[in-house]
Structures are given as structure tokens and as C-alpha cells.
Amino acid sequence: MALWNWFGREGSSGFGSSSTAQEVTDGIDATGLTAIVTGATSGIGKETARVLALRGAKVIIPSRTLESGLRVKESLLKENPNAKLEVMEMDLGSMNSVTSFSRSFNSSNRHLNILINNAGIMACPLQLSEDGVELRFATNYLGHFLLTNLLLDKLKTTSKETGIEGRIVNVSSSAHSAADNSWISLEKINNPPKYLLYGAYGRSKLANILHANELSKNLQEEGANVTANSLHPGSMPTNIARHTNLLAIPLKLMKPFIKTIEQGAATTCYVALHPNVKGVYGKYFVDCKETLPSSHAQDKDLGKKLWDFSQDFLKNLNRPK
């Protein structure tokens, strides 16, 4: 048993750091629910999709290429032939691609109950997306911000028609605590005074929390039956760091203390499905427990500033009409 399991303690939810995604959803029937899980072609995203499908949900798997998405679908169906899975093409680093995906999904007659903004890249070299945005910020945050905005009416309509609470789940990271409040401008995002691989990642993950908080405020003011929350899944050996080998040695040393993929997907599945989270807005979860994020992540003015910056930037993009 990993040492992580020895230190993991159950909290008020009844779950802790050693709980798995299957354990936290045991007995939950998600039949009739439809979920979109970004980043479901590997790691905790794939495990999240697997467990949601195991509980009966229909899971949409956005993938940069249909080929890679269909491979994942095939592997999941081998384990669970009854899984309801659909692959659609989308590249979160491209706002055109996100728009195209959302238009296609919204034009269908499908409901949408759960949106899990999970996909992310970590330590890639400095490069800009096709829209001229630092790639991690574009992929980890801005693509998800746009995706959420474009699917929000579908989530609201579904909740009204079914009476079932809609849930938006932003997968963040404890790395958000390394980010400050001085970076919300395109110039600073693209040309920081000093480019640090993990600093850019932390900024994007702080943005994920601020997004969930500001969205929650708007949803509550509107009285919508849709919640938004964020979380830290824990540290685990996924391919999120595939652009660097800097973590190779530390991960080997930390292996006894880090989570498995099954444990890493637990908090995501808990926030997405568990009845304990019904009616909960704008909270940050770690190990299936509400936890306070950094002071910057709790800054309402910073959240509004980021929201306005994101809206203004996307309005100025020449996306197809």
C-alpha cells in the first residue's frame, strides 16, 4: 500500500486521499445523465469518463483527433460493453475548434447535465496558440472558459426540462497557489518578465478557480439550477508533464506518496455526481472535501477582472459566425 494511503484521512464526506473514483460514486445511478469530459483520452480524464459511464451516464469525449478519441472509446468498451460513449473532435487550444464543437453539440437534441473541464497541459516550452495566447493559458483556461460560455444555455435548459441540477466542474491544481494577481493582461500572459514553466501552469490553474467562483456568483444571482466548483485532484504520474522530463527524478522519489490515477479522479467524480455536493456553489475541493484555496483564488475583484478580460478577448477574435 502506498504511503499516501497511510496518511490519507477521511473527512466529513466520508472519503479521503486514498478513495478511488469508483468508491466515491458507489451506489450512485447516473442513468439518463449526459456529461462532457475534456481531456478524457488519458489520465484522470479517462478514468473520470470510465467511472461516469460505469454509473450509467452518457459521456461525450472531445478529442483533438477522432482517431485518438476512438481508440479510447474502444478500450473503455472492452471493459464495459454497455458504456454509452461518443467521441467528438475539439482542440481546446483553438477557439475556432471550441466554437465548432459547441455549435455541433448545441444543435443536437441531447441534454447536458455535467460539464467537466479537465484537460490540461503543464510544462511545455513558451509558445502561442493559433489565437495568439500563451499555450497553457489558452488550453487550460481560455478554451474551457469559452466552452462553458457556449454550453451554458444547454446546461440551464436541461436543468429546467429535467429538474436535475446541472454541474460544472473545473479541475484546477494546488499549483494555483504559486500565482499572484499581477498577470491579467495579454501582454503579461504572453511576455512575462521571466518565463517559468510551472509559473505559467499555476496562472492557468488559478484562472480555473477564479472562473468557477465568478460563474457561481452569476448563476446564483440568476437563480439557475446549475452549480460550478473547482478542485485539486492530487499529485499523480499522468502525461500532463509530457513536454518535459524535469519531473522524472522527483516523481521517482515521491512515488510512495502520490496518488494512483483511480484516486486522482475521485474528487472530480465526487463533485460531479455525489448528492453531498447538491446546491454547493463556488467551492474548492481537495480529497472530496471543501478546502480554502489561496488568497488570490478567493479574490472577488480579481475574479471579475479575469472574467471581463476573457470576455473582451473572445469578443475581439475573428471566430466564424
CA atoms of 138 and 128, how far apart (whole Å): 8
Beta bridge partners, 84, equal 58
- Decide if 195 is catalytic: yes
Rg of the chain over Cα atoms, rounded to whole angstroms, equals 18
Helices (H), the chain: 3-7, 21-24, 43-54, 66-79, 95-106, 135-136, 143-162, 186-190, 197-222, 248-254, 261-264, 266-273, 300-315
Q: Of these residues, 195, 198, 281, 284, which one is catalytic? A: 195
- Largest Cα separation within the chain, whole Å, is 54
Q: Reduce the DSSP state of residue 210 to 3 states and report it.
A: helix
CA atoms of 226 and 179, how far apart (whole Å): 28
Using an 8 Å Cβ cutoff, are 231 and 172 in contact? yes
CA atoms of 55 and 50, how far apart (whole Å): 9
Catalytic residue positions?
195
